[in-house]
Structures are given as structure tokens and as C-alpha cells.
Chain A
Amino acid sequence: KAGVTQTPRYLIKTRGQQVTLSCSPISGHRSVSWYQQTPGQGLQFLFEYFSETQRNKGNFPGRFSGRQFSNSRSEMNVSTLELGDSALYLCASSLMGQGNTIYFGEGSWLTVV
């Protein structure tokens, strides 16, 4: 069974641009969540989607948004990029979102210059 797949793995963007990251969950998993990892703040929760509905949202500005499609694939978008948005963005999937096992992808490394 394939794991959580994130694309692209690495990208470099300029301040002010926007970026879209993609996540394909494990087959059959309906919950997808996103996390930002930085050296200073550690791992922080961005949002969680289940059956195309956002159920939970972390403390991030409105520039960070996401969505989930009917096939459970998810995208997150960051608009008007700032230098501080440079981070590893991790996607996680689980069967129902409130169960026991949550699996992460390899992440998308975003550098904003």
C-alpha cells in the first residue's frame, strides 16, 4: 500500500508569490491534515479536512488555506509569501481523523527568498 505522497518535494519561491502544495493520502484514508515545521516554532498544526470539510484550523493567518477533493486528495495554498513561511510542510493522513494511526508524508520543503 502506498504511503502519503506529497508534491513537490522542494521548491523555491520569491516573497509575494503564492504556492500550492499537494498531498495524496493513503488509499482509503479520508482525513488529511497539514503541519508546518520550522526550527524556531517546531511542528505546528495548520488545518484538518475530512470528507472535503475543514474540521479544525490552527492559529495561522488567512494567507494559509487548504481544500480537500472528493478523492480525499488535498492541497494547501499560501498566498503573498513571506520569508518566515520558509519551512517543511508535512501532510498526514488517517482513516477517520480521530482514530489511532496517523501517517505522515516526506514533506514539501519551501524556501522563500
Chain B
Amino acid sequence: GEDVEQSLFLSVREGDSSVINCTYTDSSSTYLYWYKQEPGAGLQLLTYIFSNMDMKQDQRLTVLLNKKDKHLSLRIADTQTGDSAIYFCAERDQAGTALIFGKGTTLSVSS
């Protein structure tokens, strides 16, 4: 079945780049997403990438997609303390109407 896996923790220093990795199983996924969740809050859509793209850049965020390896990554340039949060990778299910989420990567940024 469909599954999304992420590493659980990442710790970086302010100003460094952060790279959060994700693997997914459904090769037919059309869209892949990154969401951010701060404590006590809902999910904030950060960015998404269509499956026929290799890369998407949006200000400090860069998404890389390797379809052959079913690997997705999110790079945050010049990481700030305000970037500390949980980051979720998600893919569409086969029906296309639900999201399958990873367990989330907790990003801790120290000054």
C-alpha cells in the first residue's frame, strides 16, 4: 500500500541550510506536498511539486524530486529560529482525494 517515510529529527544552527528527506511508495502520485506545523497549530502548506517536475524553488525553499528513487527533499536556505517546527511530507492516494502523510520531521534550529 501507500506509505511515506521521513526521518524524525533534524537539528541545525541558525543561518545553515536544512534538508528534510522523504520517501514515498506510490509511483503514480501526481502531487507531492510539504506542510509545516507549529505547536498547537494546524498544517500550513509550504509548497508542492507536480510529479513531472524535478525541482521547484520558492524563495528560501527548494524541493527536489527523484521519481526513480521515489525520493523527495525540502531544502530550507538560511534557516531561522522561526523555522523550528514539524515538517510533513505527503502524497496523494491512488484515488487522488486523500493525502498520505509521513510521521513528520521535527526541525530544531539553535542560535
Q: Which residues of A contact B (CB under 8 A)?
A: 4, 6, 31, 33, 35, 42-43, 45, 48, 50, 55-56, 58, 90, 92, 97-98, 100-107
- Pair B101/A104 contact, Cβ less than 8 Å: no
- Pair A45/B99 contact, Cβ less than 8 Å: yes
Look across to chain B and name the residue whose beta carbon is closest to the beta carbon of A46: B98
Cβ proximity bits B1-44 to A, threshold 8 Å, 1 near / 0 not: 00000000000000000000000000000110101000001111
The majority secondary structure among interface residues of chain B is strand
Q: Which residues of B contact A (CB under 8 A)?
A: 30-31, 33, 35, 41-45, 48, 50, 88, 90, 92-93, 95-104
Look across to chain B and name the residue whose beta carbon is closest to the beta carbon of A6: B42
- Total A-B pairs, Cβ < 8 A: 60
- Pair B103/A48 contact, Cβ less than 8 Å: no
* Contact residues in A for B43 (Cβ distance below 8 Å): 90, 92, 104
Nearest-Cβ distance from residue B95 to partner chain A, whole angstroms: 5
- Pair B97/A42 contact, Cβ less than 8 Å: no
20 pairs from A and B in contact (CB 8 Å cutoff): A4-B42, A6-B42, A33-B98, A42-B102, A43-B88, A45-B93, A45-B100, A48-B97, A50-B97, A56-B95, A56-B98, A58-B98, A98-B92, A98-B97, A100-B50, A101-B48, A102-B45, A102-B99, A104-B35, A107-B42
Expressed in whole angstroms, the Cα–Cα distance for A4 and B43 within the complex equals: 11
Nearest-Cβ distance from residue A67 to partner chain B, whole angstroms: 16
* Contact residues in A for B100 (Cβ distance below 8 Å): 45
Contact of A48 among B42, B45, B98 (CB under 8 A): B98
Nearest-Cβ distance from residue B63 to partner chain A, whole angstroms: 13
* Contact residues in B for A92 (Cβ distance below 8 Å): 43, 99
Expressed in whole angstroms, the Cα–Cα distance for A92 and B31 within the complex equals: 16
- Pair B41/A106 contact, Cβ less than 8 Å: yes
* Contact residues in A for B101 (Cβ distance below 8 Å): 35, 42-43
